[in-house]
């Protein structure tokens, strides 16, 4: 039996692990991909305190993971979680390889997956021009034309990143105001190779063997447009990765886990942190902050059992 099981090795899960490991707990950290979460999809983070000149997402992820990897009381499982079950005095976490890992306490930090546009051509051209990660795939579009969908921080960061690689970037957003921060909005508007298409929503992605065009539909009564493009980067938010919870833990209307100020869910011994929880600010700094609280509160819970 482990002391603490953590699902998800993004910044919040890695921080929760750090706090529990430093208290001498036996921790199993389950992650289906590489440790780092959304950090791996971010080129540079300019608003993480302590790094006046910013820090690369990959570098911060590597540093965070290195900080916990030397603890002998850590077990890392590269697996997908398929279910959890709370029993009287333990939590059982089932993984895709048929294992059932038992722990005194559980921290949920699995974040989300990119939300899909759900339009013709999206699935067909995924990997053939349609991508959900500019940092991962941007290089394939060197000196080509790329198109980003969305009006949030992710879409703006993606457009700014692609503007350094592609010869031309189109940004399509369904409104004329943005969720993206003011600072990113200013940077984007000042870029001469980024063209904005506001009040438009994607209708279909077209091509032959690869993406060639995107059709966009006006949301303000203007005529529809077709844009020639080699790549379409979808950045319209995330769908939370909560299916395996099977309605055992209350979620808010956006599908995020409801926690109290101790990051505790309604189920005793189960905590949550990072993008998966309902909160007001989604940043690396807040993920790290609530990861620390979740990890430490799990430690208190284990000690008091």
Q: Which is nearer to ligand NAP, 3 or 153 (CB)?
A: 153
104 forms part of the interface with ligand NAP (CB under 6 A): no
In the set 167, 175, 239, 305, which binds ligand NAP (CB under 6 A)?
175
Question: Which residue among 3, 46, 89, 133 is the active-site one?
Answer: 133
Q: Which is nearer to ligand NAP, 151 or 207 (CB)?
A: 151
136 is catalytic: yes
147-166 binders of ligand NAP (CB under 6 A): 149-155, 157
201 forms part of the interface with ligand NAP (CB under 6 A): yes
Half-sphere exposure of 213 (CA within 13 A, CB side): 11
Q: Which is nearer to ligand NAP, 37 or 152 (CB)?
A: 152
Question: Which residue among 3, 46, 89, 137 is the active-site one?
Answer: 137
* Smallest gap from residue 74 Cβ to ligand NAP (A): 28
In the set 40, 236, 263, 287, which binds ligand NAP (CB under 6 A)?
236
115-134 binders of ligand NAP (CB under 6 A): 117
What is the spatial distance between Cα 95 and Cα 78, in angstroms, rounded to a whole number?
Answer: 9
137 is catalytic: yes
In the set 2, 104, 174, 256, which binds ligand NAP (CB under 6 A)?
174
208 is catalytic: no
Q: Which is nearer to ligand NAP, 102 or 122 (CB)?
A: 122
10-69 binders of ligand NAP (CB under 6 A): 47
# residues contacting ligand NAP (CB under 6 A)? 20
Question: Which residue among 46, 89, 136, 176 is the active-site one?
Answer: 136
Q: Which is nearer to ligand NAP, 202 or 295 (CB)?
A: 202
- Cβ atoms within 10 Å, residue 48: 17
* 182: CB partners within 8 A, 6+ apart: none
Which residues are identified as catalytic?
133, 136-137
Chain residues binding ligand NAP by CB under 6 A are: 47, 117, 149-155, 157, 173-175, 179, 201, 235-237, 282-283
């Amino acid at each position: 039996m482990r002391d603490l099981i953590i699902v998800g090795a993004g910044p919040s899960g890695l921080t929760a692990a750090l706090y529990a490991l430093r208290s001498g707990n036996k921790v199993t950290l389950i992650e289906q991909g590489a440790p780092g979460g959304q950090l791996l999809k971010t080129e540079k983070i300019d608003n993480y305190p302590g790094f006046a000149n910013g820090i690369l997402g990959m570098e911060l992820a590597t540093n965070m993971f290195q900080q916990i990897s030397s603890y002998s009381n850590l077990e890392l499982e590269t697996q997908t979680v398929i279910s959890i079950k709370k029993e009287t005095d333990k939590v059982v976490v089932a993984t895709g390889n048929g294992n059932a890992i038992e722990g005194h306490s559980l921290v949920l930090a699995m974040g989300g997956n990119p939300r899909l546009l759900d339009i013709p051509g999206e699935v067909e051209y995924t990997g053939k021009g349609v991508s959900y990660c500019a940092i991962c795939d941007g290089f394939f579009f060197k000196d080509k034309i790329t198109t980003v969908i969305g009006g949030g921080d992710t879409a703006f960061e993606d457009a700014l990143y692609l503007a350094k690689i592609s010869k031309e970037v189109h940004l399509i957003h369904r409104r004329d105001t943005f969720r993206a921060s003011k600072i990113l909005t200013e940077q984007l508007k000042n870029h001469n190779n980024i063209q904005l298409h506001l009040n438009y929503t994607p209708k279909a992605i077209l091509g032959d063997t690869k993406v060639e065009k995107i059709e966009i539909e006006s949301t303000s009564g203007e005529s529809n447009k077709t844009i020639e493009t080699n790549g379409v980067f979808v950045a319209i938010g995330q769908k939370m990765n909560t299916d395996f919870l099977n309605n055992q833990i209350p979620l808010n209307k956006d599908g995020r886990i409801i926690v109290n100020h101790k990051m505790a869910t309604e189920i005793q011994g189960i905590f949550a942190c990072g993008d998966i929880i309902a909160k007001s600010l989604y940043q690396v700094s807040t993920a790290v902050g609530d990861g620390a609280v979740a990890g430490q509160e799990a430690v208190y819970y284990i000690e008091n059992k």
